[in-house]
Structure 1
Amino acid sequence: YNFDLKYEWFLEQGEIISLAAFSKTIKNPVNRVVAADATGTQRYFRTGDQADIYGIELEVRKNLLSDSDDNPILSVGLNAAYTNTKQDLKDIPAGDENTFGTSFDRDSDELEGASPFIVNTDLNYSPEFGNYKPKATVAFSYFSDRIFSLGAGSLGNIVEKTVPTLNFIWRNEIGEHFEANASVMNILNPDISFVRENTGVGDIIIREYNLGVNFGLTLKYKF
């Protein structure tokens, strides 16, 4: 089943406060599972009969500065969600229906890929100077630790650690035909880390890397 309850409060032009609660049930959830052997192979299985999801979500958009026509010049937005997930786990025997099998030493776990906390926020500045209409956006996003692969047997889960992301985008419309845009993506350049839990000696880093900071510049002419 799927249940959603939302309350929306519209303020001035372009402004909103929204609060939502949701609950879902997923039948036969599919998860990535890492094998409890020397190969560490990762495969997808229908790991249980049911997964239950519930949570709340808050959305806010507020104008901080407007022009004489009430068009927003400076605005801020926020979207934040908390999600709780729980699925039952069962052993999957290898046989006619399944080429490979898997088993677990626990009866339940969180869903693979589901972060309990997700936050997205942005700050937008869009003034007008005659034919020059720039728009600058600073956007921040965050997700908390989430399961990347369920650990089979007594093997700990592989978890993707928290990642904060900060981007800057600057769009410039100059007249009717010309546009010049610039961007700086992944400004914080955080470590992307995957760790194995429940090893007996603490979390062990399986893989870690950086995506790097990406600078962009585009020029457009519309005929």
Structure 2
Amino acid sequence: RSTDDQYSQDARLGTLLNFTYQPRNQQHRYEWKNIFNQTGKNRYTERRGFNGQNDQEHNMEYYYSSRTTYNTQFAGKHTFDNSRWDWSAGYAYANRNLPDRKRIELNDRTDDRMGLYRISREFTYLEEHIASANLNYRSDLQWGNLQPVIKAGAYGEYRTRTYNTRQFDLSYNPTNTTLPKEFQFTDNPIEELLKPENYGADKLYLQEEVNKLNDYNGNNAQASGYLSANLPLGALSLYAGARYEYSRMELVMNTRSYEESRRSTFYTYSDLFPSLNATYQLSKQQQLRLAYGQSINRPEFRELSTSVFYDFDLASSVMGNASLKAAYIHNLDLRYEWYPSAGELFSVALFYKRFSNPIEWTYTVSGGTDLIYSYKNAKGADNYGIEIDIRKNLDFIGLRNFSWSFNGSFIKSLVTFEVGSQEKSREMQGQSPYIINTGLFYQQPEWGLNAAVLYNRIGKRIVGVGRSVGTSGSDDAKTIPNSYEMPRNAIDLSLGKKFGHWELKVSVRDLLAEKVTFKQIDNVTVKGQIKSVEEVTKQYKPGRNYGLTVSYNF
């Protein structure tokens, strides 16, 4: 039970540079697109309270992190009498640098007094390169009264990633030191740690905790191709196709912690994904849609790597799972759409999703009280529900220039497990039972004025899946409850005004600033009766965000 105070300073730089070449004949078009982003963050977090061992603690984390992304793409479009070609070739680069993350821990574990217990410094670097290319073809045919459209294409991608981390612990031997007696119990040991004269073989010294198991390299090659056809049959239009994907991932990790000892593990996928989209035109303003498609969610490098990273916010370690399987999803959607006038919409949809081997974010207990977060496959899951989407002009009730939008979903989800598993069927991790988004908008073009009020709410959802450990029916059997994010209301406001070439925008995000609350919820048996027990595990108030934007349009 502890309280955090967190301070952060962010800097962002973004540049965009695009070129387009259009020859006179208008049949060909060439584009070169470039986008670069650089972000930096300084963050300091201070934690006071009690840890899982009931030690009084005073912990600190300080780090600077930087993230760089660059994407360039060269593309072309070519139009002929009854056919079109488009292609692109691109390169993307990303890195994340954590050059010196410091974690300082003081507690009363070894003495009744608060004293220096542990200091670590971590240096982490991640780098990724992606090269990709794609080619698409479209042909407009004429078969009597039929005008089918044939599409085909191919895509290829090669990605590499390197992740390296080193950790150093600050060591201190109170029996062999020239530092002041009981140095670790001084009033402000943190200040003393910053003095160079306090470092040496008989003082404070850094010792590397070598663990090559936390480093990894990854390579992934992917090739895919698709073929589809759009067949209009009067009021009925059919769009059907299939996409083939081949993916081969290589994850290279060390087998020994004290030296380079690389071993490769390969994950190969070869899949065919069908799709069908049928649209029936009821009238000029109304239509029915029926869609089916199959998709895949393949594990990423970080989800497969058993590299361990300590997350200070979670106060827990995070690691991957090398035995993760890819998740396959069948998607079915039936939708009615009505467009009363330009800019207006009413639609209602029934949907169903069937998951095989869904990947979920889970946690378990290590050492009695320490949590470890990771990823795990369930056997399957079913999601189904209804979605309503409305966009309506409010002139009919006298509110000229006002419009209203609403999007709401009600979802039922159920995760299933293998026969004999101790896991219980439950809602899917990350899936809310309902989602509500609505907004009121005002547009006055003559005055160059626009305003909006937005409201959002999500239902209670599982953010961390608990686990059943031990042997069922034995004394060591334990159930770790699921962790839930509780519902909260969010309101955003924005106002914009144009003054010639200038535009001024002001905004307030999360006006209500309600607390974000996480709870563990479980059913327990008390005197033969089942009761629901709730306990807050984490809670914070994100605060309001105020924005001011001034722009000039040339």
TM-score, with length taken from structure 2: 0.35
Q: d(CA) in 1 for partners of 2:423 and 2:467?
A: 9
The 1-side partners of 2:346 and 2:358 are apart by 33
Partner of residue 126, structure 1: 443
Pairing 1:156–2:481 present? yes
Local SS of the residue matching 1:203: strand
1:49 aligns with 2:379: yes
Partner of 1:13: 342
Q: CA deviation at 1:83?
A: 0.7
CA contact (8 A) 1:104 1:152 kept: no
Which residue matches 1:88? 416
Q: Distance in 2 between matches of 1:135 and 1:85?
A: 39
5 Å-filtered alignment, 1:1-223, equals 1-37=330-366, 38-46=369-377, 48-65=378-395, 73-90=401-418, 105-129=422-446, 132-153=447-468, 154-175=479-500, 177-198=501-522, 200=524, 202-223=533-554
Q: Give CA-to-partner distance per residue, 1:61-112, whole Å, 9 cap, x none.
A: 110128xxxxx71000110001111111349xxxxxxxxxxx9633311111
Q: Distance in 2 between matches of 1:181 and 1:124?
A: 15
Contact 1:119 1:143 in 2 (8 A): yes
| Match in the other structure for 2:104 | none
Contact 1:90 1:107 in 2 (8 A): no
Higher RCO, 1 vs 2 (CA within 8 Å, ≥6 residues apart): 1
Match in the other structure for 2:89: none
How many residue pairs end up in the alignment? Answer: 203
**Cα distance between partner residues in 2 of 1:158 and 1:107:** 15
4+ residue runs over 3 A deviation? 103-107
2:423–2:467: 8 Å Cα contact kept in structure 1?
no
Could you say what the CA RMSD is over the residues aligned between the two structures, in angstroms? 1.9
Structure 2 CA distance, aligned partners of 1:222 and 1:16?
32
User: Mind listing any 5+ residue stretches in structure 1 that lack a counterpart?
Assistant: 67-71, 92-102
Amino acid at match of 1:212: G
**For the residues of structure 1 that align with 2:518 and 2:431, how far apart are their CA atoms?**
15
Distance 1:145 1:22, change over 3 A: same
- Assess, with a 3 A threshold, how the Cα gap between structure 1 residues 144 and 190 changes in structure 2: closer, same or farther: same
Structure 2 gap ranges (5+): 1-329, 469-478, 525-531
- The code of the aligned residue for 2:385 comes to G
Counterpart amino acid of residue 503 in structure 2: E
Deviations 1:45-74 (A, max 9, x none): 11x2211110100011110128xxxxx710
| Corresponding letter in the other structure for 1:151 | G
Larger Rg belongs to:
2
Contact 1:53 1:84 in 2 (8 A): yes
Residues 191, 104 of structure 1: alpha-carbon distance in 2 compared, 3 angstrom cutoff: farther
Normalised to the residue count of structure 1, the TM-score between the two structures is: 0.85
CA gap of 1:104–1:199, structure 2 versus 1, over 3 A, is farther
**1:172 to partner: Cα distance:** 1.7
One-letter identity of the residue aligned with 1:74: F
Q: Distance in 2 between matches of 1:39 and 1:149?
A: 15
Q: 2:489·2:512 contact (CA, 8 Å) conserved in 1?
A: yes
How far has the Cα of 1:126 moved from its partner?
A: 0.5
Q: Distance in 2 between matches of 1:36 and 1:133?
A: 58
Q: Which amino acid aligns with 1:209?
A: Y
The residue number in structure 1 matching 2:151 is: none
